[in-house]
Structure 1
């Protein structure tokens, strides 16, 4: 079974607190798309495709609506149809991230109103176009380096959500819930998150040393 690559609680704390120390608009943008991914468990391919209208609808309805073309597999979907439209409940942290991203977008446009910009994308690059998937990956690498933590990809945020959900679960139904939220076709794919995390292993080693 493949190893789940996720942030430990300490790494997550250090990453976000480090970015918050920087007050430039790109740091604010990066912090909030990371928080959005962390608290909605979305793939970078989905966040990359989010539009302003998607954010406004989510804030109005309390759910982030994910169309089939925005998910893994695109329009083709999969055998169980799990790549059909999903509705992801917005917890407060995700709501705040969406609100912040809308404000950041307006500020980026207002900073140079004479310049052209992508008129639908929620998250803009420095050139005010839709951020590419590669840019998300590069920004994550940059911030991991600044924070002095393990090199990670944006996908680790999705894994981190799943690991935390199962760590905090009190019933066996949580595995199925995680499967549905992540859109996995097979439960065996989701079961990878039940493996001991690095936090678990470290705690076990510390306890064994007493």
Structure 2
């Protein structure tokens, strides 16, 4: 079922579904922050394994005809048409951390599921850290900030993309990236995140 925040949206997200393992808080938050750094590869690996486990639960439910966050449109889909990718980080942020952040999480998830993985996207310009911005500023911050890498533009046509990120808050980044992927010819985008930051509905 749509969460209250999604239900309040005037327009649908560009991604077809969003699946999370946890709610974003406390220990989960600490683990996600730690996993961004290369020295904590064991944490990133464990989060990827748990994300894969959650994805398999969805597969099992769909096979049994039960509803799940990844809806029935995905039933019977060939795994050969899938490709896993990640939300790209600006180069300066990668350099500071010494790694690619969500790229490691996504590649480990793909390895766990035996799915093909590719860094499909790159940033066209610098973006501010979304956590410091309000909802409207987040949307504006990422608008036009991403593009599909040249070598993937033809190979993307007709494929379903599993977009992996660590946290979804407003969905602005994933929505913009999904729009870019669909405009480039992807058939569908499904979002997979370790955690979802769910805010209470306004009273």
Structure 2 length normalisation: TM-score? 0.26
Higher helix share: 1
Higher strand share: 2
Structure 1 length normalisation: TM-score? 0.25
Point out the structure with max Rg over C-alpha.
1
